[in-house]
Amino acid sequence: MRMNVRVRVVSKRPVAVDVVELTLSAVDESELPSWSAGAHIEVDLPGGVQRQYSLCGPAGDRDTYRIAVLRTPASRGGSRAVHEELAVDDVVTVSAPRNRFALESAPSYVFFAGGIGVTPLVPMAERCHQQSETWEFHYGGRTLERMAYASDLKDRYGERNVTLYPESETGFINIAAILKTAAPSALVYVCGPQPFIEAVRSEARAQGRGGQVRAELFTAEASLDAAGEREFDVHLVRSGITLRVAPDRSVLESIVAAGIDVERDCEVGICGTCITGVIEGCIDHRDHVLDDQQCQSGTSMTICVSRSLGDSLVLDL
């Protein structure tokens, strides 16, 4: 069950073109629930809209939560409400932080940020800095003016750790070259749009590092049904077919309906019988079988309950 916290907007400021940062503190001035780098909160916005945003303030800060929100042209209410309606002193309800993108222990780290996907990685950089970890941070965006926290990161951590890639000046991040020079056991954290995550995943796989990638998708406000589910495509590599998974159907149901026999048992995500290899795509894990490491590796899913965070999945079926 969701634990709710009433918070007040104590500051609202632009941090890039089309990006505003909100700082929130508890209405009763108590300490906020604890959190760690990579965590997000769900915010109940004006108009009955709920949205999840990564916490991007100093990791573990319990006096305030900080979020940064990109204005998306196709907004169905979330980013528009934050940009146009929420004001300083307004009170909103948020969930306690949850973390599906936690920083695991590793000898070194490579961070890839794409656009507003920088937000969960900002506290990770600070944690690495404070703990004297070995790390490098590669951050791309369309222009420097559109890249939230770009100069803060560069100023605080220096050129040795942070490289910025405004596409208008430098072109795209050279993912292959960066991974080639990274330590063999480095963990790779990536957050941004799906094509960016896929590019990192696929290059990591090509270099034999597929299991070292931890990814979080920044989702634009895609079309969801009334229950908040999206439809997406599933491409079955061995069968050579592509299926559309409707919002009210599971991946398993869609595959079985197409006449493909799949091993299954509980169909509620507890037995593990239907675990299937994932070749591409960002998984929305919803089962009680896979552990955190298996979930974060993004290489398998329970197709009876888990879904896609992006527009498509490619399965080893």
Minimum CB separation of residue 153 from ligand FES in Å reads 41
Which residue number, 237 or 268, has a Cβ lying nearer to ligand FES? 268
CA dist 164 and 167 (Å) reads 9
Minimum CB separation of residue 267 from ligand FES in Å reads 5
If one asks whether residue 302 binds ligand FES (CB under 6 A), the answer comes out as yes
User: Would you call 176 helix, strand, or coil by DSSP?
Assistant: helix
Which residues are CB-neighbours of 47 under 8 A, at least 6 positions away?
77, 81, 85
Q: Are 306 and 283 in contact (CB under 8 A)?
A: yes
Q: Which of these segments, 88-96, 137-145, 219-227, 272-280, binds ligand FES (CB under 6 A)? A: 272-280
If one asks whether residue 292 binds ligand FES (CB under 6 A), the answer comes out as no
Minimum CB separation of residue 283 from ligand FES in Å reads 14
The footprint of ligand FES on this chain (CB under 6 A) covers a number of residues equal to 14
Q: Which of these segments, 19-27, 132-140, 240-248, 269-277, binds ligand FES (CB under 6 A)? A: 269-277
User: x/- string (CB under 6 A) for ligand FES, residues 227-266?
Assistant: -------------------------------------xxx
The tokens of 8 are what? 């007040």
The tokens of 102 are what? 């936690």
Give the largest CA-CA distance in the chain: 58
CA-nearest of 85, 98, 103 to 42 is 98
Among 106, 287, 290, 310, binds ligand FES (CB under 6 A): 287
CA dist 196 and 25 (Å) reads 33
CA dist 144 and 126 (Å) reads 21
Q: Which of these segments, 15-23, 73-81, 189-197, 268-276, binds ligand FES (CB under 6 A)? A: 268-276
Among 32, 59, 255, 289, binds ligand FES (CB under 6 A): 289
CA-nearest of 44, 50, 53 to 20 is 53
Among 99, 202, 273, 294, binds ligand FES (CB under 6 A): 273
Q: Are 233 and 245 in contact (CB under 8 A)?
A: yes
Among 269, 281, 298, 310, binds ligand FES (CB under 6 A): 269
Minimum CB separation of residue 236 from ligand FES in Å reads 17
CA-nearest of 192, 198, 68, 69 to 142 is 192
If one asks whether residue 274 binds ligand FES (CB under 6 A), the answer comes out as yes
Q: Which amino acid is at 63?
A: D
Q: In the complex, which residues of this chain contact ligand FES (CB under 6 A)?
A: 264-267, 269-274, 287, 289, 302, 304
